[in-house]
Amino acid sequence: APPNVQITGFLSQPDLDALLDDASVYVQASAHEGFGCALAEAMARGCIPVVSRQGALPEVVGEYGVFVDPADVSSVATGIRRALAQGSDLRPAIAERIATCFSFERRRHDLLALVKKIGRANGM
């Protein structure tokens, strides 16, 4: 890896928080993806997301994502450069998106509504 890439292995929550606070960009160029909890966590800290269009990643990033082809290294590199060029003025808006769209209360409400809907569909 180049000098500006750090491979850490497991990080404690305080160490992860410090790393995300220092990061400008978060890259998740997945070929397959579910919700993207790590992506949301990075965005909550204001990291500019560079992601594929897999799974729920586009839903999580909304208008703030730089989308790349995960099978094309040059696409990922270009996406990272584009995200870095956007500057840090987007960080508060990115964090606000996660706080607003994926707050604990909203997730709780939506999950309970889904459980009730499934229950009604199964005669419960």
Which stretches does DSSP call E strand in 17-69? 25-28, 48-51, 66-67
Instruction: Quote the tokens at residue 31.
Output: 């070929």
pLDDT at 35: 79
Length of the chain: 124
β strands within 58-123, DSSP E? 66-67
Q: What percent of the chain has pLDDT over 70?
A: 100
pLDDT of 25 reads 94
> Considering the entire predicted model, what is its pTM?
0.81
What is residue 69's predicted lDDT score, i.e. its pLDDT?
97
